[in-house]
Amino acid sequence: MPDLTVTLMQSDLVWEDVAANIGRFDAAIDRLETAGDLIVLPEMFSTGFSMNAARLAEPMTGQAVTWLRRKAQARGAVLTGSVMIEAGGRYFNRLVWARPDGTLATCDKRHLFRYAGEEKIYSPGHGHITVECRGWRIRPFICYDLRFPVWTRNLGLVYDAALFVANWPERRSAHWRALLVARAIENQCYVIAVNRVGRDGNGLTYDGGSMVISPTGEILMEGWFEEATPTVTLRRDLLDQYRKDFPAWMDADTDPMRRPETR
């Protein structure tokens, strides 16, 4: 199976301005000399992490999703990031996975950030998706989902890479870094994580920290403070060999609440 190249779009965001953000990312992707098989944008890449869903949320036929689809087709790569979506009278923080053939996959943020009142505005997701890119199985998550290891658990090695898109503030950047490394080690998978930089409309600052981590916990790429668009190669041989040589995944608890049997 081939290696996978991933481009991380660590960027500032224009507060609550869909057209401006789409324009910025469109130009930034056009400037890439070489783009990966997968191009990853931050959480709520078209607006910033806003609770103003009544004004800004769009249907699946709106500007941001339409742009993702068109840009994926034009670049011949998968594009993904999360967007404010309105569906059935409810709002969702929805990750959209746009393929070069024009098809989409989606998943909604499961854990809504109570500290910011996200659960009062948005509805939670209720299931995982596992998507493929060049034969790699990838499971996406959104920001606060990172804190919940049961939700992100890779039982039976059902995915090869965990993907996190975020608006994770600078004040908790130590948590971001530690949890991402832990998710890679415990799940014996690559971790791809994209966070924003800059300051949002609520006065919160973001220092990036986008990174790619190997299944052994080695940080292969880490970018802080500035806008950046690195492309990183994920090696298939390293992943397969490590899982074979150190098969801790075979001893995982399928039911963490079950007491050990007594004999």
pLDDT in tens, 108-148: 999 999 999 999 999 999 999 999 999 999 999 999 999 99
The low-confidence residues of the chain, meaning pLDDT below 50, are: 262-263
Residue 141 CA to residue 109 CA, distance in Å, equals: 7
CA 128 vs CA 153, 192, 208: distances in Å:
11, 17, 25
Provide the pLDDT for residue 90: 98
Q: Residue 260: inside a domain, yes or no?
A: no
Provide the pLDDT for residue 256: 55
CB-based burial of residue 168 (10 Å sphere; 0-12 exposed, 13-18 middle, 19+ buried)?
A: buried
**Into how many domains does the chain fold?**
1
CATH classification at residue 185: 3.60.110.10
Q: Residue 170: inside a domain, yes or no?
A: yes
Q: Residue 259: inside a domain, yes or no?
A: no
Residue 56 CB neighbours (<10 A): 21
Residue 235 CA to residue 227 CA, distance in Å, equals: 25
Q: Residue 225: inside a domain, yes or no?
A: yes
CB-based burial of residue 15 (10 Å sphere; 0-12 exposed, 13-18 middle, 19+ buried)?
A: middle
Q: Residue 258: inside a domain, yes or no?
A: no
Provide the pLDDT for residue 263: 45
Give the domain extent around 161. 4-251
Provide the pLDDT for residue 56: 98
Quote the pTM value.
0.96
Residue 218 CA to residue 39 CA, distance in Å, equals: 21
Q: Residue 257: inside a domain, yes or no?
A: no
The catalytic residues are 43, 109, 143
The two structure tokens encoding residue 43: 């959480």
CA 185 vs CA 170, 196, 260: distances in Å:
23, 24, 24
pLDDT in tens, 208-227: 999 999 999 999 999 999 99
Provide the pLDDT for residue 1: 83
Provide the pLDDT for residue 4: 98
Beta strands in the chain (DSSP E): 4-8, 38-40, 78-87, 90-98, 104-108, 131-133, 136-142, 161-166, 190-195, 197-199, 205-213, 219-224, 231-234
Q: Residue 69: inside a domain, yes or no?
A: yes
Provide the pLDDT for residue 245: 98
Provide the pLDDT for residue 16: 98
Provide the pLDDT for residue 262: 46
Q: Residue 166: inside a domain, yes or no?
A: yes
Provide the pLDDT for residue 259: 55
Residue 68 CA to residue 39 CA, distance in Å, equals: 10
